[in-house]
Structures are given as structure tokens and as C-alpha cells.
Structure 1
Amino acid sequence: MLTSLALIFLLGLTLGSILNKLKLPSLLGMMIAGMILSPYGLNLLHPSILEISSDLRQLALIIILTRAGLSFNIGDLKKVGRPALLMCFVPACFEIIGVTVIATRVMAVSFLDAAIMGSVLAAVSPAVVVPRMIKIIEEGYGKERSIPQLILAGASVDDVFVIVLFTAFTSLASGGKVSIFNFLQIPVSIILGIMLGALFGLILVLFLKKISVRDSVRILIVLSVSFLLMEIERQLNGILPVSGLLAILSMGIMIYRKDGLSAKQLSMQYNKLWVAAEILLFVLVGAAVDLSYATKAGTSAVIIVLCALIFRMVGVFIYLLKTTLLKKEKLFCMVAYTPKATVQAAIGAIPLSMGLPSGQNILTVAVVSILITAPLGAIGIDKLYKKLLN
């Protein structure tokens, strides 16, 4: 296991650095490192690492979402108004509908299987989007109309919405029933997640003001509370829907609102943690990618992924129509909302494990979406934000 971790960090750092020098996102190099080390490549990763891969990826997401909350001014999001709400579900709805229509024709899958495929593809990747939005916020771009805050918040809620739909569709496919309660989980999960995170954030602020400890100890306390929030989500699963990741984001926002100085100090420490967490995240995402699926797919999977991106971008454009954003700012939002990686790697294989007729096709399209959209979306954000945002 220790050898596997050494290989993950060394090869991830090396290929990430090489790609960075070639003016390409380092995450692409990290994903390539994962593909090389994976069971589908040289098979150099210990089985114990692969068994806890999803937990390690979740740890990395916890770190970056907490970091996002610690620098997130909720007042900026309030200025955005209606688009902030629509960003959470309109693009995903357009993409799911588009994939459902296209996949039934291109791959000749059933209507329900096509809807499941659409829900797998529709989740935007916080792992790609959030760290880039944090960087843009810190550099002051898009500040006047709070564009990075809009995308950051939307990317966090978008996943909750899409995963609930995915769960409903797969339940139907396995012979279960879908009731109105399934769809009520979406707003309930979001609201309870935000409230729970705000409560824990307030408690943390009061607690940390009363004790005097080093920043490293503060980090351990906040990180431990984040783990507890994810455990609360797991324990309440099937009883009460709560979004743990949204709770973590909300906790960071509350700390920022109530104690800006502590938030700034914690944020600097989380930046250091993200150096290692980013490598783990994207190398393990790459390790989950089986290139043989992509090579077997031919052009059909590529067509579906490209069509999905077009539908998503149209969805972003439509909900921004009556906003004050400039044309170039709308274009940036359309590009920034395209990357997929973490959710697709996590749920892409579930339909296949359930024995669904189109499970193989769904997994193939999920793999292709990661290979196409993660690097293209990251490159688009990195290359365009200085040109399109003030």
C-alpha cells in the first residue's frame, strides 16, 4: 500500500508538472498517471488502495469544498439572484433530456436506459471546477457580477440534483417505484445540508474563539467535523435526505461570515492540504478509467458526449438570457460548466453492476465523458478566464 501511495504521488507530480510546462492542466497528467498505474494499465496499485479509492476521492472533495466555503462571500451570491438558483438544475435538465433523445437513436437503447445515461453524464465535476473558481476569485476576475461564485455554488448543488434523479431512474429500471417523495428529496437534501453545515460552522466559530490552539490543530478539528457531516449523511440515508458535501460548503461559509480572520488562516492551511489531495483525487479518477471501453465505443459514445455538452451549454445560455452578464461572460459560464470526472467515475459502473441491458453502454459513455470533458473543460477555464472576465 505504501509503495502504491509513493507511485501515485511521484508519478502524479511528475506527469502533472510536465503537462503544466506544456501549458496544459496538471490534472490531465495526473489522470494519465492513474491510467498507467491502474489495473487496466501496468497494474501497479495495491488492491487495498483500490478498495478505498472512493473514500480517498471523497476526502479530496471534502478538502476542496471546505476550502471553497472558507473564501466564499454569500453576499456576492445574493447579488446574482435568480441565475444562482437556475444554475443548479436547468443545465442538468437540458443535458438529461438531450442525451435521452440522442441515445435512443444513436445507441438504440431504451428510453429509461437513455435517461439513466443522461443522469450519469449530467453531473458537473466540483473537483475540476471548484479549485479553478477559487483561483479566479482570489485573482479578482468576474468580481463585479460574482461569476465564479455563481459557478462554484451551482456546481456544488448540481450534483445533489443529478444524483437524486439517477437514483430514481435506476430504481425504476430495477423494478422499483418512484414516488413524489423521491423528488422531494432534492430540496430537502439541499436545505437540510445548508442548515446543518451552518449550525456546525457557528458552533466551530464559538468553540475556536474560546480555545487557543495552533493552526494545524484547528485544521484537524475542522476536518474531523467535515468527516462527521459526511457520516451524518450516511447514517440518515433512507431516513432523511441530507447533502453532506453541501453541509461542508455551508460550514466553511459560516466560518467566513462570523470570523473572517480565522477563515483566512484556515484557508491557507487547506491550500497546503489540497496539493496532496488533488494528486490523490485525479490519479484515482484516472485509475478508475478503463480505456478498453472507450476504444470499443467507436463514434457513438463520442457523439453522445458532444451532444450532451451542446445541450448543457444551451441550458446555461438560456437561463442567462435576461441577466446583466456580458456576452463574453455568458460564454465563460457555458465553458466553465462542462467538465465531468468525479461523479461519472463514482456512479458510471452502477448500472452495469445492476445487470441493466445498457449497463455496458452507460459505463462506456461515462468513461468517454471523463476523457473528453475533464481536460477540455479545465483547459477552457484556464485559458479563457482572463480574456472573458473583467
Structure 2
Amino acid sequence: MILSFIIILIIGFVFGYISNKIKLPSLIGMIIAGILIGPSILNLIDESMFKIAPYLRQIALIIILTRSGLSLRYKEIYKLGISAILICFIPAFFEIIGILIFGPILLKINHLEALLLGSVLAAVSPAIIVPRMIDLKEKGYGNNKNIPELVMAGASVDDIIVIVIFYTVLGIIKNNKIDFIGIINIPVSIILGVVIGIIIGLVLILIFKKIKNNTINVIILLIVSGVLVFLENKINAPINFSSLISIVTIGIFILARDQNLADNLENKYKKMWRVFEIILFVLVGLELKLSYVKTLNFMPILLLFIGLSFRTIGVFISLLLSKLNVREKLFVCFAYLPKATVQASIGAIALSENLNVGSLVLSIAILSILLTAPLGAILIDKTHDKLLVVE
């Protein structure tokens, strides 16, 4: 297993570096590295890695969501008005509806399976979006209307809502029945998650002020996040809380109360992410079965772009009440295209749960990364100076 870890980190880093040098997101190279060293081609990785892969993906997701929380300045979001709220869920809901309508027609799956697939595909990628929005903000692009903050806030909350929907639908499929309590649990789990996150955030701030060691504080925060995820999975009550919402809320609360502490913690998490980014995306490539992908036709790609079309409509509807002009709205549409992080984190879960649709969900999730991550990144990089005003 140790040798497999070394291979994953070295090969993933090299391929990511090469991908970045040719102006593509590094995660594309990491996924290709995973495919190359995985069972489909060279088969260099020990089978024990696949057993711990779900835990590694969970840690990566915790790191992503914690970073989002520690970077999400709610006061700036509040200034954006109703559009900031609408863009957090309407584009994702529209994309899910598109997949729900056309998935059964194009892929011959049932509506629950289409809903599961839609919840995997509907999230956008903080790994692609956040660094670029921070860079644009520093250069002054879109600052006159707080467009970078709008996109970052929407992307972060969008991901959380989609993940909650995914786990709810997954539970319905596993139990083979529609659980109305589970559906009701979606808003309840979000509210409970926020409340628990605020309480824990308050306690952690008091602890962190006593310790004043950023490394130890990060370890504590990581352990607390892991415990929250563990408790959510172990509690069998009809109504549960969303540990992922709690994790993001903790970060937001820490930032609101102590910006310096939040910045220090986020920098530590950023360094951890550099390692887990490689692990996460190489694991995605390892899980992909080329033999299964060969059986797919053009339909998954068509469905993917239908979903993106629905998403774009959702973005424009979300921004109807905003002060953005047509060019700025078009830029937000481009910024809302790339998929990667969430698809890599939850795309393989349906397969690990032995669902009939598992291989299909994973394959289309990876396909969405390979197609939309470079497309979204290129459109953001090449159009921001033409579509946004510099302040």
C-alpha cells in the first residue's frame, strides 16, 4: 500500500504538472495518470488501495468544504441581494430537472436513477472556480458588481445542496422505496447542520484562542469534521443533520468572528489539498473501467450537454433581478460550467454501493470532468477581460 501511495503521488504530480503546462487543469492529467496506472492498463496499484479509497475521498471532500467555509464572506454575499440566494440552487435544480427528463429517454434508466445521476452532475467545481475568481478579484475584474464573490458563494452552497440531495436519493434507491421522511429531512438536515455548525464553531474559536498553534488547530478541526461525518452515518433517527453543512458553517462562523484565524487555517488546508487533490483525482482514474466506457455511445455526452443547457437557463433566471448586463451574465454562465471536485468525491459512491447504475454514474461523472473542466477553465481565462469591467 505504501508503494501504491508513492506511485499515485509521483505519477499524479508529474501528469498534473504536464497538464498545467499545456494550459489544461492539472486534474485532467491526474485522472489520466489514474487510468494509466490502474487496472485497465498497467495495473500498478495494490488492491488494498481500493478498499480505503472511500475514506480518502471523504477526507478530500471535508478539506474542500472546510476551505469553502473559511473563504465564504457572508457579509459580501448579503450585499448581492436575492440573486446571491437564487444562484445557490436554481442552476443546480434546473440541471437535475434536465437530467431527470432526458436521462430515462437517452440512457434507458429509471427516474430515480436519473435523479441520482443528476445530483452527481449538478455540482460545479470549487477546485476550478475558486482560484480563478480570487485571481480575478485581485486584478479588479467584476469587482464593481462583486461578480467573483457571487460566483464563489453560489458554487460553494450549490455543491452542499447537491450533495445532500445525492445522499437522500441514494438512501431511497438502497431501501427500494420512496422515503417521504427522507425527503422532508433535506431542509431539516440543512437547518440542523447550520445550528450544530454555529455551536461547534463558537466552541472551537474559544479553544483555538487558547492554543494559538495553527497546526494543532487544523488537526482539531479535521478531527471534529471527521467525527461529525461519522455521527451522521451512525445515527439511525428518521431526522438527521447534514455533517457537510455543519463543516461549511463552522468555517463561515470562524471567518465571521476571527478573519486572521480563518486565513491561517485556510492556508494550512490549502497545503493539505495539494496532496489530497492528487490522491482524489488519481483515484477517479483508477476506478474507471475502460472496458465499460467502450460500451457507451454518444448518448451520455448528449445528456451531459443537455444538462449544461438547462443549467445555463437556470443561471440567467437567477440573475434576472441582478444589476448585471448581458455580457456579465454570460460570464457567470461560463464560470458555472466546470465540474470536477464533487464528481470525483461522490461519483464512485454509487459503484461502491453496488447499484446497477453505479458504473454508468461513475463513467459519466468522469466524462463530465474531462469535458467541462478544461472547457470552463478556458472560457473563464479567455473571456473575463472581454466580458467584465476592471475596477
Separation (CA, whole Å) in 2 of partners of 1:235 and 1:72: 29
Separation (CA, whole Å) in 2 of partners of 1:349 and 1:235: 17
Cα distance, 1:234 vs structure 2:
2.1
2:325 match: 326
1:165-207 deviation line (CA, Å, top 9, x unaligned): 4455566666744354333222222222222222211111112
2:145 match: 145
Cα distance, 1:112 vs structure 2:
4.5
| Other structure's SS at 1:52 match | helix
Contact 1:136 1:148 in 2 (8 A): yes
The one-letter code of the counterpart of 1:375 is P
| Other structure's SS at 2:296 match | helix
Q: Which moved more, 1:368-377 or 1:67-76?
A: 368-377
The one-letter code of the counterpart of 2:282 is V
Unaligned residue ranges in structure 2 (runs of 5+) = none
Q: Check if 1:51 corresponds to 2:48.
A: no
1:256 match: 255
The one-letter code of the counterpart of 1:196 is I
1:11-39 deviation line (CA, Å, top 9, x unaligned): 11111111111122111111111111222
Q: Check if 1:240 corresponds to 2:243.
A: no
1:94 match: 94
The one-letter code of the counterpart of 2:371 is I
Q: Which moved more, 1:14-23 or 1:82-91?
A: 82-91
Q: Check if 1:71 corresponds to 2:71.
A: yes
Separation (CA, whole Å) in 2 of partners of 1:232 and 1:81: 35
Contact 1:94 1:315 in 2 (8 A): yes
Alignment of 1:11-50 (within 5 A): 11-50=11-50
Cα distance, 1:267 vs structure 2:
2.3
Q: Which moved more, 1:72-81 or 1:128-137?
A: 128-137
1:197 match: 197
| Other structure's SS at 1:242 match | coil
Separation (CA, whole Å) in 2 of partners of 1:2 and 1:351: 25
Contact 2:287 2:348 in 1 (8 A): no
Return closer, same or farther for 1:228/1:131 CA change in 2, 3 Å cut-off: farther
Return closer, same or farther for 1:23/1:5 CA change in 2, 3 Å cut-off: same
1:371 match: 370
What is the count of residue pairs matched by the alignment?
A: 388
Q: Check if 1:223 corresponds to 2:230.
A: no
Return closer, same or farther for 1:225/1:135 CA change in 2, 3 Å cut-off: farther
1:294 match: 293
Contact 1:236 1:242 in 2 (8 A): no
Separation (CA, whole Å) in 1 of partners of 2:140 and 2:236: 39
| Other structure's SS at 2:294 match | helix
2:61 match: 61
Contact 1:120 1:366 in 2 (8 A): yes
Separation (CA, whole Å) in 2 of partners of 1:131 and 1:308: 25
Cα distance, 1:61 vs structure 2:
2.4
The one-letter code of the counterpart of 1:233 is E
Identical-residue share of aligned pairs (%): 45
Contact 2:72 2:153 in 1 (8 A): no
2:270 match: 271
RMSD: 2.9
Return closer, same or farther for 1:52/1:172 CA change in 2, 3 Å cut-off: closer
Contact 1:119 1:163 in 2 (8 A): yes
1:28-60 deviation line (CA, Å, top 9, x unaligned): 111111111222231112222221112212212
Separation (CA, whole Å) in 1 of partners of 2:359 and 2:218: 42
Unaligned residue ranges in structure 1 (runs of 5+) = none
Cα distance, 1:323 vs structure 2:
1.0
Cα distance, 1:93 vs structure 2:
2.2
1:185 match: 185
